[in-house]
Amino acid sequence: MHAGAADEPKRKPDLGDAAEGAYEGDVISDSKGESRSGVTLTVKRIGKNLVRVTSTYPRLPVIEVPLTLAMGKVLQARGDSVFLLDRSHSPVKLEVSFNNEVSWSGQRR
């Protein structure tokens, strides 16, 4: 514990916290290439309701996605990348479309 830690307010968990984690899945559609199995995505909270998505597959760009909640699902608030996290499944299901070019689908590890 560092000095002053007791004085710092606790941050309320947000959608970034809910989405954060490692997901295993497949590239299911690529406008400039082929499908690929066994691709891991890492979702990291970088701000309030904001995540950065990285992957083990170089074809998938790093994206930053602002999040919102609609109909019980966590999805992108805006932008040209689709992010759909369905927490009603076990394990949790994630679908991402990177810049409307490459689609990935998988589940939380």
Is 2.40.128 the CATH number for 10-108? yes
What's the CA gap between 25 and 105, in Å, rounded? 5
CB 14 within 8 A of CB 49: yes
Token code pair at residue 104: 């990935």
Residue 17 phi, psi (nearest 5): -65, -40
The structure's pTM equals 0.89
Using one digit for the tens of pLDDT, what is the confidence trace for 66-106? 999 999 999 999 999 999 999 999 999 999 999 999 999 99
Check residue 2 and give its pLDDT: 52
Q: Parse the chain into domains and list their residue ranges.
A: 10-108
pLDDT of residue 9: 72
